[in-house]
Structure 1
Amino acid sequence: MSNDKRRQYSSQVVDGPTKAPARAMLRAVGFTDEDFKKPQVGIASTWSNLTPCNMHIDKLAVEAGVGADEAGGKSIIFNTITISDGIANGTIGMKYSLVSREVIADSIETVAGCEGFDGIVAIGGCDKNMPGCIIGMARLNRPSVFVYGGTIAPGKNHTDIISVFEAVGAHAKGDMSLIDVKQIEDTAIPGPGACGGMYTANTMASAIEAMGMSLPNSSAQNATSDHKIQDCRDAGAAVLNLLDRDIKPSDIMTREAFENAITVVIALGGSTNAVLHLLAMAHAVNVELSLEDFVRIGERVPVLADLRPSGHYMMSELVAIGGIQPLMKILLDAGLLHGDCLTVTGNTLAENLKDVAPYPSEQTIIRPLDNPIKKDSHLRILRGNLAPEGSVAKITGKEGLAFTGPARVFASEEETLERILDGTVKAGDVLVIRYEGPKGGPGMREMLSPTSAIMGKGLGQDVALITDGRFSGGSHGFVVGHISPEAQSGGPLAIVEDGDIITIDAETNTLEVNLSDAEIAERLAKWQAPAPRYNRGVLAKYAHTVSSASLGAVTDDL
């Protein structure tokens, strides 16, 4: 295809004297006369040295630019933000984490829309980067490829960031000395890359690859590897192929593609955040997706991957045996994936997987279909008088399938953590953390510090935790999040009192408090919503515009 036809949006800088100011501006950043005739490819980089997940992405963005240039385009690199969940967890700063997904999406849409890029490569490395990049590209609906920054190497003695969080709980229990905690802290994060288990970053990278918005194997590469450099160059070139064929995100991100993503997330034992993010991504591209789709697909898809946090292995070890491509081939051959979905290669998913080799026969990371870790999904959508609009649990079966106990109610994550560490929380308790939802937090903080403290204190099978907040992909144990409606909006979670008996049942998919409808109604009639915690700034704007978690916590459903 000629460059004239490839330039759908950047043609305003090519012809005529009225475009001279635009050309003059671009000459200053390195454009030549020939460059003005080429399609412009925006390279959205989430580089920052505030987190190991993103500290190498500046170099990867350069490589993506090289690939686009060599394929006949003209690349322009620009930055968007990242935050670090690992640093912010357990602090007020975590309120900004989910907000960053919206800022990333808005900034990519803003820059690419303003500058008239014909195609886009977006490179993300941390949890909110991935859905933020996809949402931004979906809104623009121009030929686009996502690149995952890659996974981190294991720390000393097979440790990672979750090892550090759980060491804090072990020290509080008296099972670990401060010296041992310090040694884990010093060696758990050895360099660049996203957190090493099947936590949210690796979950979302895998989901995006399964959806067809990144190149094969992009989700399963080490951050500092030749494979990742080549992946970036190939992504830059792939955008030019998509331009030639006029393939846009809306052609790839179909309902069937989202079903493929859900299937792969379940098979990998992925993060509960995938529910929130996939709902938001579907909203961005006008695909109808709901919590019921996770229920329906979860009834027939097993958990096959023995990966952290509930399993044994790290993403780098899955990379070593072939990544997720052989797993997708297994699922496709079993009729669990839609093979006719288009991908950013320009081919269908089935065509991409046609020649994929199987896993080595001796590997123990991915189970066969006839011997799964769990025969159906670990992501449970629970409803009941505590969650009329739904909630999300991550239950692998190792925690048991049901839990009943008295409520111990907290209004914040910080208070909960203190009471876990000082021994107030006892075996049998159901911890209730409320006013941490999208509006109430605001920002729907992850409860990684409390859940890690529970595990570190050896209470993982003896204490449950429910919240209108959410969980890190590193959280495990008997935990239920995303409770909707949230407490701030008058959801039933707002009227639970200490001692109320709560039952979580992952077989009947219910979350109930042992109160009559009349008693719940009576308490709600007396309840008053707390005043907003913020009246200015980004958190106030977020609380004012954000939707329910059951709808993906989106901010443009106006």
Structure 2
Amino acid sequence: MGTEFWNGADAAHRRVMMKAAGYSDADIRNKPHIGVPNSYMAGSPGTAHLRQIAEAVKEGIWAAGGIPVEFGIPATCGNIANGVEELKYEQVGRDIVAMSIEFVSKVHNFDGLAMVASCDNIIAGCYLGAMRLDIPSIVITGGSMQPGQHCGETVVEADLDAKRFSGASEEELMEMEENVCPSFGACPSMGTANTMQMIGEVINMVLPGTSTIPATDNLKLRKAREAGMYAVEIAKKKLKPSDIITEKILLNSIMFDMAVAGSTNAVLHILSYAYELGIKLTLEDFEKYAKEIKCINAVVPSGPYTVVDFHYAGGVLNVMKMLEEKLFIDEPSLYGCSWSNILKDVKPLENEVIHSLENPLFEEPGLKILRGNLSPNGAIVRPTAVYDEVKYIKGKAKVYECDRDAFDAIQKGDIIPGDIIVIRYEGCKGAPGMKELMLSIDALIGKGLHKSVGLISDARFSGFNFGAIVGHVSPEAYDGGNIALVENGDEIVIDIPNGEISMSVSDEELKIRREKWVRPALKEGKGCLNIYAKMCRPAEEGGAMQPWDLDAKYSK
């Protein structure tokens, strides 16, 4: 333990600060110090309940002989920024969260971390921060909210988004608003928040079986207390993320994401984790498992069920049991034993929510990589959220330089069936921040065009989105990728079954266009977005602010 940091005459100035904050001398000197980063934020249902969960975590830390030191970390609700330019801050937020945890933990010399988080890039940033610090760490999730009930039907937040672009009046929307999000917790579909909560179990950051406990279930508090106790245990054992997050563990997370049709944003996060740990992982690993793992999870948008249903249908452990023959089960778990020891006690429970590999929900994976002259470095689609009518689509390009311009065109009726929308300069550097295109996608759904129109972009999408939408196109437009050279009227093919995304423009014509192309100025001249644009890796490497030498990291 780091008791030498708190003992001796040289530590007097440290001890006095802790004493002035209310801690006793014996606790300061002798107990492991466990940082409790808490992403509580009053303005979001995914975070507004985390104070109570953090209290349970701290109770567990005290009970196990540790000393909890709670501190706040940044948290936002992406839905607040839906439809406005500031949504591009969300991806950058992952790195800011990681840096915040790194900053406080380094200064205060914690022996371990017990992090409390729920939503999107916040929980993803907690995992990243733990791996960067490489000190004993655990994450306690906030769980998912209950689905709403409206006019006799189960509804989730994404249903409200679709309704608001369908011509509904404010009065009609108000009626739905009152019912669509009835509790605390992350929105209960396979968005980024719940995807990353689930993946936390697979990558040994969250206690097995606990990630999807609904926010309304008091089991969440009991397990939070248990997690606090376990944080002290792993701190004493000095069990670090690098000890238990191996290459094969990350490959397990890819297989899991394929099986549950998780948010496409998980690709960015998993790649960033690998890079942080010095593990070589690429989109080719995703391509490999896309050929082996079919979607077995019927949670929105791939099916009619919610994450609450998923939890009571067996949750993450049930999915892993279904995948057992594919997973690397001899790898270590958060408990120190192998995953085979955990899964041997799990009884497979095939049901309407979680299917078996032998009886998949879809005959395709929950995620697929597309390549072609529009995206030689890879683009991403979620096939299970694409209607059969548009799994193959050939159409004329209609090109827009930002999400807002495409949205305005959709609203004005400029987009018709058969069109393929191209939205560029919304990638990691172009936005900057790799914006989520919820505005234009929701408008397509609201106008009923999601079964007849394709959309490609160097931006990313919300886990709520569905339709023939292809994102993460790389190289992005700002880096001079071919997406920057597309012109109105170019013929584009999106062929999801065959993994292709291309435009029918000759290499000679592309060369002529490239000679005329001029890189635009960065959209942000200062602040964290400007820093991000200058320091981030491309999307196919995770898009994080990790500018250190690639070869040096992989040579470990």
Q: Figure out how many residues of one structure are paired with residues of the other and give that number.
A: 542
1:369 aligned to 344, 357, 363, which one?
357
Note the C-alpha offset of 1:224: 2.6
- For 1:183 and 1:407, the matched residues in 2 are separated by 38
Determine if the alignment matches structure 1 residue 188 to structure 2 residue 180.
yes
2:103 aligned to 107, 110, 126, which one?
110
Q: Segments of 4+ in structure 1 off by > 4 A?
A: none
- For 1:442 and 1:453, the matched residues in 2 are separated by 23
Note the C-alpha offset of 1:182: 2.3
Segment drifting more, 274-283 vs 394-403: 394-403
- For 2:145 and 2:59, the matched residues in 1 are separated by 24
How big is each residue's C-alpha offset from its partner over 1:185-226, in whole Å with a ceiling of 9 and x where there is no partner? 222111210011011111111112112221012221101321
Partner AA of 1:505 in structure 2: D
- For 1:398 and 1:493, the matched residues in 2 are separated by 24
- Kept in 1: contact 2:128–2:273 (CA 8 A): yes
Partner AA of 1:132 in structure 2: G
- For 2:363 and 2:280, the matched residues in 1 are separated by 27
How big is each residue's C-alpha offset from its partner over 1:152-181, in whole Å with a ceiling of 9 and x where there is no partner? 11112311210111012222xxxx444332
Determine if the alignment matches structure 1 residue 521 to structure 2 residue 517.
no
Tell me the secondary structure at the aligned position of residue 116 of structure 2. Answer: strand
- For 1:369 and 1:457, the matched residues in 2 are separated by 36
2:520 aligned to 502, 517, 530, which one?
530
Partner of 2:66: 73
- Kept in 2: contact 1:163–1:184 (CA 8 A): no
- For 1:290 and 1:96, the matched residues in 2 are separated by 25
- For 1:226 and 1:346, the matched residues in 2 are separated by 27
Partner of 2:374: 386
Structure 2 residue runs without a partner (length 5+): 549-556
CA RMSD of aligned residues (A): 1.4
Note the C-alpha offset of 1:447: 0.9
Partner of 2:165: 169
Partner AA of 2:340 in structure 1: A
2:200 aligned to 198, 203, 208, which one?
208
How big is each residue's C-alpha offset from its partner over 1:119-171, in whole Å with a ceiling of 9 and x where there is no partner? 10111111001210011000111111111110011112311210111012222
- For 2:117 and 2:504, the matched residues in 1 are separated by 44
Partner of 1:150: 143
- Kept in 2: contact 1:200–1:472 (CA 8 A): yes
Determine if the alignment matches structure 1 residue 353 to structure 2 residue 343.
yes
Tell me the secondary structure at the aligned position of residue 156 of structure 1. Answer: strand
Partner of 2:11: 19
Note the C-alpha offset of 1:524: 0.9
TM superposition score normalised by structure 2? 0.95
- For 1:89 and 1:278, the matched residues in 2 are separated by 24
- For 1:246 and 1:42, the matched residues in 2 are separated by 15
- For 2:231 and 2:359, the matched residues in 1 are separated by 40
- For 2:547 and 2:285, the matched residues in 1 are separated by 20
Note the C-alpha offset of 1:306: 0.9
TM superposition score normalised by structure 1? 0.95
Partner of 1:3: none
- For 1:193 and 1:283, the matched residues in 2 are separated by 30
Partner AA of 2:299 in structure 1: L
2:500 aligned to 492, 503, 510, which one?
510
Determine if the alignment matches structure 1 residue 424 to structure 2 residue 414.
yes
- Kept in 1: contact 2:430–2:478 (CA 8 A): yes
Tell me the secondary structure at the aligned position of residue 494 of structure 1. Answer: helix
- For 2:221 and 2:45, the matched residues in 1 are separated by 17
- The aligned runs of 1:291-306 (5 Å cut-off) are 291-306=283-298
- The aligned runs of 1:129-144 (5 Å cut-off) are 129-144=122-137
- For 1:547 and 1:221, the matched residues in 2 are separated by 34
- For 1:378 and 1:144, the matched residues in 2 are separated by 29
Note the C-alpha offset of 1:420: 1.3
Note the C-alpha offset of 1:375: 2.8
Tell me the secondary structure at the aligned position of residue 164 of structure 2. Answer: helix
Partner of 1:259: 251
1:442 aligned to 422, 432, 442, which one?
432
Note the C-alpha offset of 1:373: 2.1
Note the C-alpha offset of 1:354: 2.0
Tell me the secondary structure at the aligned position of residue 44 of structure 2. Answer: coil
- The aligned runs of 1:530-549 (5 Å cut-off) are 530-549=520-539
- Kept in 1: contact 2:35–2:114 (CA 8 A): yes
How big is each residue's C-alpha offset from its partner over 1:26-69, in whole Å with a ceiling of 9 and x where there is no partner? 00112112202111000111110121111111221111111111
Partner AA of 2:162 in structure 1: E
- For 1:405 and 1:529, the matched residues in 2 are separated by 27
Tell me the secondary structure at the aligned position of residue 525 of structure 2. Answer: coil
Partner AA of 1:264 in structure 2: F
Determine if the alignment matches structure 1 residue 395 to structure 2 residue 363.
no
Segment drifting more, 78-87 vs 446-455: 446-455
